[in-house]
Structure 1
Amino acid sequence: MKTFDLSLYLVLEHSLCLTHSMVETTMAAIAGGATMVQLRDKKAGTEGLIRVGRELMDVMAGTSVPLIVNDDIDAAIAIGADGLHVGQDDMPSAAARDRLGRDKIIGLSIEDEDVARKVDRTVVDYVGIGPVFATPTKPDHKPAIGFDGLAELVKIAGLPSVAIGGLKIDHVNAVLQSGADGLAVVSAICGQPDPEAATAKIADAIKVFRAQIA
């Protein structure tokens, strides 16, 4: 059975994980409260992703935090990852489902209303919505949608959703108020002097918000 929590979704960025490797950053983030981890490295190639991904799967075993691979389905299968995240220019989600089977998690990037209305809810498990803000970690992104756009796409997609794009701890309340289930962060954790402490601060902000509306 697929179970996952989108509350605090770490997207690994190799270029930022210099002082702390991607594996070190991941374990620190999980200790701090990260609930999902995505391995994203467009420059590594399939073999590079497999090498890091297998190491991540080993150290993440027993944590209950899923490892999602961005875009590269061959790497995801070889790693034995928990799922795959695809964008609009990547493999179609239905084709990914055919190869991965029903037990793996599939996420899909949503950038506008047209795409949100066409999501196949029988195939996709969650959507990543954004970019909320412009971000240097993904220079080829579509125009920023802001929090109003985020709220609209959350409603249209009708699936568990995680916001992405330039998000920091200061944005926790606005993201959750939009109806999204969580936020995906990159530089707010990757490259921070203390990734565990940085993650814990965001995780605590999420808990405080949810306690206030409970």
Structure 2
Amino acid sequence: MNGNALGRSAVAILGLLVGFGLVWSAGCRRRTEPTAGPNNPPAKPAPAVSIGPARPGPTLDEVVATRKTWDVRFHSYIGKQAPDFKVTDLAGRTYTLSALKGKDVLITIWATWCPPCRAEVPDLIELRKAVPETDLAILAISFVERNNTEQMIRAFSEQYKLNYVVAAVDSNSIPAPYSAVEAIPAAFFVGRDGTMKLATVGPVPLADMMAILKAGPAKAL
């Protein structure tokens, strides 16, 4: 192979790597035809993060500044009361956001066919193990579509033993910003007073989830 061919091959490989990184950090576009089904397993669980005794941690602005796999969205909602909604989970239990005041709430929007969503599952499982339900509610909302039916969502939840609340809903049944996400996974961190602390798109690692939950309100967002 001559030098020009080698050069073209190197450029092509670099382009593929850069493109993969951009797609992964941005998450999956909603309503994109999947190339994989719900039977593809999530990534192996990340090491559990111990909450340990209360101690100073990074501020929310610092967590945002050092992010690598996710970005901030819906800036206009941050610092304001999170829009209320009601969902029914796969077990038939009903949850209303306003009724969860007094604890932190993590709302994640996901789909069974989305690789970054599946990769985030082990971190959500570990987060549920690390933080008691009296302190944190985790609501995993999946919009029912042709390629993400309630049966698929239920099968995925059972297969991977999801230990947090999972709801399969029509996207028109909940208000913006939750229904307005353009890519998944998307997450909404709601504080104990009911205000929107942060809204993100892209997979959020367990360490970042913990840091966001521990941090106070952002000052620069």
TM-score range, shorter chain: 0.3 to 0.5
Q: TM-score, normalised by structure 2?
A: 0.36
Compare the two structures and name the one with the higher helix fraction: 1
Bigger-Rg structure (1/2): 2
Q: TM-score, normalised by structure 1?
A: 0.37
Q: Determine which structure has greater relative contact order: mean sequence separation of CA pairs < 8 Å that are 6+ residues apart, divided by chain length.
A: 2
